[in-house]
Structure 1
Amino acid sequence: MKSAHLNSRLLVAILSMDVGIAVLLCGQFTSWIPALDYACVQAAASNKEVQDFDPSSGTISSHTLAQQPQKSRGFQRISVTDDPDRTFETSPPSPLDYAVLLQSLRNRGYNHVLLTTRMTWDDEPGIEARALSDRLALFKKSVIALPVTRGATAHPLPAPLVRALIPFDQIKGDHQLIPTVNQVTLPTHVDGGEQTFAGFHRIESTPSSPDHIPMLAHWPGQGLIPSIELLAIMINHDIDIADLLIDCGQHIRLGQKGPVIPLDIYGQTPVPKSPAPATNELAPLTAAQLISLKPTSPEASITPIGLIHATGKNTSPTNTLHPTRLTQILTLSKTFLIPEKTTHYRKLPLWANMTLLLTITLAACWGLTFHPINSLLTVTTLAILLFPLLLAFMHLTHHWFGLSAPLASLISAYLIPIRHRKRTTPIQKYRTSKPKPVIRP
């Protein structure tokens, strides 16, 4: 009896082992099985790590994340007041006034500028707008803000938004819940050329949330467009559009060495709950103070970004961002986690995977019994233990193994029935047989 039971278990072990080996071999020639194994590693990883997977070599690179405010370029806040000293031609400033301000920034060594005031005027500026566009073109990167909405008829994308467009091949996951927009409600009068990018400051067709900051909007058939906050963080860390990697519902990665921004399924990130780490902040300047300074490069080791916003009673209505959101930009640029240390994990060779698979399969079949509940408990326990085993294995050996083959073997071991033929004596057979009717004479 014991021999028959043992033979049944060995047969189940062989069959379930064959299933696991088949999955292992299929993983050598297909892409979806390695992708599934990598997804299991991602699920077991810490939320303070991000991974990269190289399918050709099977190597996983794990990046530990930490706050690194010293890598932030920093911002030089420049406020546009009501101009009591009459530095500008008009208040709010005209396109020509902004051209003078931008020229002053450039003469003092600034290579990047972020304009959070409207670049639109009631009267068509004409030649003045062209002068302002020429000054924007002097910067390595410049950012302007535009309002967007969803309307019945789609409008063409303005050129600055086209340059900031994130193509679908850089997007992973479902982006259907990200707000859809197809119109710019207030077009800009300026465009500095190839290095001028636009981000949305408001989605008029979607209510804002006090607890979240919008990062992305979906322009149908084109891709995703960034918010002005996302563009500000990008130029703060020298990140190009082509470097963005978006995993909808998970995060936005700003290149291999840039910040990792948490992202929900609606394309938003949480409002920062703690202030930015203390660093050497530049004292804010008014536009008049900046223009009056002698042309000289900033003293900081990394050239800061000129952040232009309005603070006067007459000029504040031209702001595209509330002061709270402006402060959030400064905070976000320093509080997002950045890859600090990289560890490489190589995939186990085929023979080592088969050895591990044999061990797991024998352990499963040893615990199988004729009672379905006990068998299910054994298989479930082993399946749960695979995840801590994987993490411990990665930590101790810097190698990893796929979970698809062991899980396939465990499921097969449970589904393959174990049948044991019971032997009965003639007396047992007589006692268990149905009683025959007695015919009385």
Structure 2
Amino acid sequence: MKKILFLILPLVVNSQIIDTVIRFNNFNNEPADLFYIPEENKLYINLFRYPERKFLVMDCSTYQIKKIIPIPAIYDADVCGVYNWKRNKLYCAFSISPESVAIFDTKKDSIIKWISIYLDYPWGMCYNSKDDKIYGVDTSVTVIDCETDSIIKIIRYPPYWFSNFVLWDSIGNKIYCGSVYSDIVGVIECGNDSLIKIIPTYISGPCQGVYNYIQGKLYVTPTWGWRSAVICTRGDSLIRIYDNLPGAWFIRSIYNKNENKVYIPGGLRDLTVIDCETDSIIKEINISGVIANMYLAEWSNRLYVVTTMVDYNILSVIDCGNDSIISQLKFGRLAWDQYGMTGNPNTHQIYIADQHDSSLYVIRDTIILSLKENNFKGNKIKISSNFLENSKEIKIYDILGKLILRDKKDKVSLKRLKKGVYIIKIGKQKEKFIVIK
């Protein structure tokens, strides 16, 4: 019988290293929005400053600028964007006159078309990969066919103004969009692009939403006020109201499918954690500074949160397994209210654009393990044929922090694990184990 040897020792985890800081002083611009193109391993960087507006295309393996794409100087604003991975196109909406959407060919790194339409910032676009369509929201919802890159329908519903967010329900093939000056969320059937329902939410201007596709729920936060709501996307009905849960207008909430939790930024310092099974608030994490952006690194089950202080910024890293801050890192020169932020699943890196510092920070998400001596009573080493036989719930991670096995069975088989070192979490225990198979 194959034996498993595991050593129980406390772990000191230092997981964030600044790989590279890329300065943009030579461009006389400030990096703002970031779009990662996985097929080409490239990063599209929106440089924000009149009159030299441009997009940079960076090779993520070498950090070299492959191309500079000029943008008309009049487009001096942040952009919202969405990537069509089927056609290798990036759609970016500029939120001021002349009110157009630029379509980038991400293989050739060039703009292939402009569409004259106004779309709302900051989260005014989404991609429906089933029907190969882009949905953009302003006072109405505009539908773009991605094959021809033409507008095929505009959906209006006076007196309501659709605005702020637009989300695709991949299970029901529906679109949900927020509103301004009202409390409604609109529901659009994607098959015929028609409005099928208006849902009153009783919150002040639904401005952000996050979709839980596993349980069919939409978590909506307000433009102002303290009331948030949960919508069942299977029945398109309101199922929960939170009376003391504000949102952040410019910061999108995040759904973590590994933990089945939603993370909602609100107020100045608080990050609220919701258990999607019960829709109950299970934790409020106090983070130094004002939350400016967030990114979920699914490969390590960590949430990266950027906050701004008076004269510097802080990157906080949260372990989503126990919702605790495991690391903090100061960076940047001056504070700002928003940061472009995205990640690279291939290299396990986080990209943060700091406008005031004119820099792109590349953060490496790795686990460096060091062992600290501790005074254990009894044996430190145990030998067992399978020490997980009586465990009711386990999570197994590799040394990079990637969740590779999660099970609630009474008897868990380790046959599919290769030889190596693993980190095990058993039930609600916070201890971590090094496992050698």
- TM-score normalized by structure 1? 0.27
Query: Which has the larger share of strand?
Result: 2
Structure label with greater radius of gyration: 1
Q: Point out the structure with the larger helix share.
A: 1
